[in-house]
Chains A and B, each alone.
Chain A
Amino acid sequence: MKVNVRYFLELKKAISKKEESIDLEVPTVESLLKTLVSKYGEEVAKMIVDEKTKVIGTRVKVLVNGRDIRFLEFLDTRLAEDDTVSVMPALR
């Protein structure tokens, strides 16, 4: 299943693109973030995974179709075909 992923600020620079289509086997936000970590390596991993707690997703702000995942099911938020996921470094 394909989703459209948009990157901002430091993430955009590290990944060297502002958006792309990503194919996911498991259609959740957690699966997408893990895919990004494995696909883009350490620099991007540092932005997505908390170094101390090793928790994924707390250092980035993730929107699914414009809605903050913290008001959805957080990492368990289900993704559908052609959803737009925006990933940006946490603003605070």
Chain B
Amino acid sequence: MTYGWAGQVLKVDLTNRRIKQEPLEMEFMKTYLGARGFNSKTLFDLVKSKRLDPLSPGNILIFGVGPLTGTLSPSNGRMTVTAKSPITNAFGDSNVGGHFGATLKYAGYDQIVISGKSDTPVYLFIEDDEVSIRKANAIWGKNTWETQEIIVKELGRGIQTVCIGQAGENLVPYAAIVTGLKNTAGRCGMGAVMGSKNLKAIAVRGSKGVKIAKPELFLKSCREVFHEVVNAPYFKRRSRYGTALLMEFLNEVGSLSTRNYARPYFEFAEEIGGEALREKYTVKMRACFACPAHCTPYYYVKDGPYQGTLGEGPEFMTTGMLGSRCGNGDLASILVMNNLLNQYGIDVTAFGGVLGWAMDCYEKGILTEKDTGNLSLKWGDQKVMIELIHQTARREGFGAVLAEGETKAPKIIGKGSEKLMHTVKGASLIPEDPRSLRGFTLGYITSTRGADHLRADNILDGAGLIDVAVKLLELREAADPLTPKGKGKSVKWFEDFCAAIDSAGGCKFQYLQYMDLLTSPEKLARQISYATGCNLDGQGILEIGERIYNLEKAFNVLMGLSRKDDQFSVPDKFLKEPLKEGPFRNTVFELDEMLDEYYEARGWDVKTGLPGKKKLIKMGLGGIAKELTSKRLIRTNEGVKDR
């Protein structure tokens, strides 16, 4: 009997139309925990070539849920989607909320592994043990909202769907996978990989539930977590404003990326911030599966040029990337664009990155109307921004250039435009200026999936948590955004914990922001132990997270990445060009010092940024160590310090 986990993987070979259910081994489940951990191991085992085109049939697409997904454990309904990324050409995954993950678990699966490519557009229908590959004629060409509606009409109630929009069909490299109105596996181009397989959607209905090893203790621990969460001050703010409130905060501390990093302040931050969203447009707040926090605004635009717009979101990422990054101070227009991106299935971080780059190029005269099809890419021109979303999804007009993504678009334009595109490992930076919150920024330099704040979500210096920094790391400086000290150590801790949270099926907001950071690993461990019957403690949880992080790093080693890739695409911008205003003025990002500390904390080689054989063996990754050593990709004689 398997508890917590469903204990089963669904394997779908689209080329040969083969469907197979296989049991998962207990050792695999205990070692890699679930969701992100399961998927990372599967990706490492099945994709070996760094020359493999991520959009070719040889890539695989994996959906994974955790041992807590689908249970009563608060905020644990999340899912991870993994593949070799068409953006980074290396490790890629994306984490998504909503209700699909729990329903997949109820159908009896921890993972779906999709390989090959269908010769015609199809969708997958899973109803417990019955799985079929169906023609997608009626939904191909439709947007994500239409697709889900058509599928529910066809299959009836109780269906949850993940799908791609036209951007995924057209292989826009930063296409997203969407479920519901706004829950999106956005980063790393998972929607493009899905489109490359001619797979439009996966619809699931499940009736099996989740078996719990120690039900009474599990329920008690769920209640404890629930009460801690709902009594946290930050929970109340998040449930009222969503993540959009970060706009006001980052602007106040001089950290908001404005007009492609021209300034750290946006003069219209208040107009597009969390309070404005709440007061002007929010009708109610909605939640993901089993979450006591309702952090998603459901909005309606009552009047003005965008009257009648309704949808869900936007996250701070959206208001930041389509607002301050592009110089747009009109919130209603951002709501319209938020809907369009969700409908077409486009990642807002990547799209905002390429759009901000294009607007910067236009301002500097690198792009003119001749290049853009007579569009004036002036900062904040909402009509042009909206038009370019349509064009990008369809690969039409100048949108066809934006649709090439962060790496290829600047190469097409040339003329020095490469100096204006800011990425790490090919993925667009978020709307926070790297020259400000050093610990937060270091996390998206070291991220295994390219620039991304949620890989570490190092909130120590973002929120200035001095007490936590002292108790957790004995390093007061780790909470100070102005010093490089302690950032490597703190990022390592957060990366490990986040890997474990993602693998359990949990929400980082809950474990990092609502709960007490000093005890939340222990509480997560307790919940997993009661659900699965395994015996885990907080330290064990962090060790599993560390193993998963090393595993993802090992995949990137296989893909040829090293210390040189833990770097901004335009290093001089953030390492040599100081901010001119705000509390971080006259400072730059001290990357090398922080990276040295980080690799040291990780027990990796400081010179190359790579894990060695002994380190991987110590992490329980002996097979991977052997493989990388035999390919001469890592060292065999490194000293590994016990920490």
List B residues 447-483 near A (Cβ within 8 Å): 463-466, 480, 482
In whole angstroms, how far apart are the Cα atoms of A8 and B582 in the complex? 19
Decide if A6 touches B252 in the complex (CB within 8 Å).
yes
Q: Mark B217-260, 1 if CB is under 8 A from A, else 0.
A: 00000000000000011100100000000001100111000000
List A residues 29-84 near B (Cβ within 8 Å): 61, 63, 65-68, 70-71
In whole angstroms, how far apart are the Cα atoms of A18 and B270 in the complex? 11
In whole angstroms, how far apart are the Cα atoms of A9 and B513 in the complex? 18
B590 at the interface (CB under 8 A from A): no
A89 at the interface (CB under 8 A from B): yes
- Cross-chain contact of A66 among B233, B513, B582 (Cβ < 8 A): B582
- Cross-chain contact of B252 among A63, A70, A71 (Cβ < 8 A): A63
Decide if B237 touches A90 in the complex (CB within 8 Å).
no
Decide if A92 touches B583 in the complex (CB within 8 Å).
no
Closest to A90 in B: B233
B contacts with A: majority SS: loop
A18 to chain B, nearest CB (A): 8
B275 at the interface (CB under 8 A from A): yes
Known A65-B583, A66-B582, A92-B465: A71·B254 in contact at CB below 8 Å: no
Interface residues on A, range: 10 to 19
Decide if B237 touches A9 in the complex (CB within 8 Å).
yes
With a cutoff of 8 Å between Cβ atoms, the chain A residues found around residue B582 in the complex are 65-66
With a cutoff of 8 Å between Cβ atoms, the chain B residues found around residue A9 in the complex are 237, 275
Closest to B265 in A: A66
In whole angstroms, how far apart are the Cα atoms of A9 and B249 in the complex? 11
Closest to A6 in B: B252
With a cutoff of 8 Å between Cβ atoms, the chain A residues found around residue B480 in the complex are 71
List A residues 1-41 near B (Cβ within 8 Å): 6, 8-9, 18
In whole angstroms, how far apart are the Cα atoms of A63 and B254 in the complex? 11
In whole angstroms, how far apart are the Cα atoms of A70 and B254 in the complex? 17
Known A68-B464, A71-B464, A71-B482: A91·B249 in contact at CB below 8 Å: yes
With a cutoff of 8 Å between Cβ atoms, the chain B residues found around residue A8 in the complex are 248, 252
Decide if B583 touches A66 in the complex (CB within 8 Å).
yes
Listed A/B pairs (10) with beta-carbon separation below 8 Å: A18-B270, A66-B252, A66-B254, A71-B482, A89-B233, A91-B234, A91-B463, A92-B232, A92-B233, A92-B463
Other A-B pairs beyond A68-B253, A92-B463, 19, CB < 8 Å:
A8-B248, A8-B252, A9-B275, A18-B270, A63-B253, A65-B582, A65-B583, A66-B253, A66-B584, A70-B464, A71-B464, A71-B482, A88-B249, A89-B233, A91-B233, A92-B232, A92-B233, A92-B465, A92-B513
Residues of A within 8 A of B (CB): 6, 8-9, 18, 61, 63, 65-68, 70-71, 86, 88-92
* The 10 nearest A-B residue pairs measured at CB: A66-B583, A67-B583, A66-B254, A68-B464, A66-B253, A86-B252, A92-B234, A71-B480, A66-B582, A91-B234
